[in-house]
């Protein structure tokens, strides 16, 4: 962009997105495309049981899954990255999860139909997640999404992870898409922060995880969707949004 030309206000950029259509839809992975909570909770519970502690119910830990290993460890063990025992525990959790990362994980209901209809409209789609590539790549393969996604950006692919816009910006560059033609869908406040900072249209997934512990209406997403298929009315040409 010519530096002499001022950047349009966010509202104007988002209106331009709608007017010219969507060329690329980017998705968070955990809690947006895939219901990974059962396998992640099993892994953290295995860490608890190895230390003689009782496992936690899935319903209790499910809202924390979108916060990754750090969120689950903080919730169950009450320690964060500053604690001496945190890093060994995080590595143990990752190893346990990696060993069985798609036993119970499935795509959310409606995701397959949504993706098929996006593809039928010749719209690119991709994945931008804070999950490290060591876990993202095999999971996406097991879910049979790897041959379909136009890009896969993991938490350690870009220089910084969400809520920094860098991963979304990288995905846009990889797919040759301008921000005003892109959209990002996620179930966590950080997803919306990253999307807005990257200049794409943002969609908060109310069917995901973080809504159990955070007020989705305060995330400042452009739209809130109640199901994966609900997204289609906003991104498909002539769908009536």
- Which residue from 174, 207, 209 is spatially nearest to 190, judged by alpha carbons? 209
- How is residue 35 written in tokens? 């219901």
Q: Which of 28, 30, 187, 188 is catalytic?
A: 28
Active site residue 215: no
- Distance (Å, whole) CA 73 – CA 171: 29
The phi, psi pair for 106, rounded to 5°, reads -140, 165
How many C-alpha atoms does 13 have within 13 Å on its Cβ side? 20
Catalytic residues, by residue number, are 28
């Amino acid at each position: 962009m010519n530096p002499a030309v001022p950047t349009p206000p966010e509202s104007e950029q988002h209106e331009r997105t709608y007017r010219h259509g969507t060329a690329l839809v980017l998705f968070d992975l955990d809690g947006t495309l895939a219901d990974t909570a059962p396998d992640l909770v099993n892994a953290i519970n295995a860490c608890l049981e190895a230390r003689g502690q009782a496992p936690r119910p899935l319903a209790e830990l499910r809202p924390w899954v979108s916060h990754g290993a750090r969120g689950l460890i903080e919730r169950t063990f009450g320690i964060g990255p500053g604690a001496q025992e945190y890093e060994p525990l995080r590595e143990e959790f990752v190893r346990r999860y990696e060993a069985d990362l798609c036993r119970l994980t499935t795509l959310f209901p409606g995701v397959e139909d949504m993706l098929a209809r996006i593809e039928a409209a010749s719209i690119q789609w991709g994945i931008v997640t804070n999950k490290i590539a060591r876990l993202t790549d095999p999971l996406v393969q097991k879910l049979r999404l790897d041959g379909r996604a136009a890009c896969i950006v993991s938490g350690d692919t870009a220089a910084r992870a969400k809520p920094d816009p860098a991963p979304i910006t990288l995905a846009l560059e990889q797919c040759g898409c301008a921000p005003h033609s892109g959209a990002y869908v996620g179930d966590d406040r950080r997803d919306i922060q990253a999307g807005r900072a990257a200049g794409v249209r943002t969609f908060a997934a109310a069917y995901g995880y973080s809504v159990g512990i955070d007020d989705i209406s305060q995330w400042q997403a452009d739209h809130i969707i109640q199901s994966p298929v609900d997204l289609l009315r906003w991104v498909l040409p002539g769908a009536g949004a």
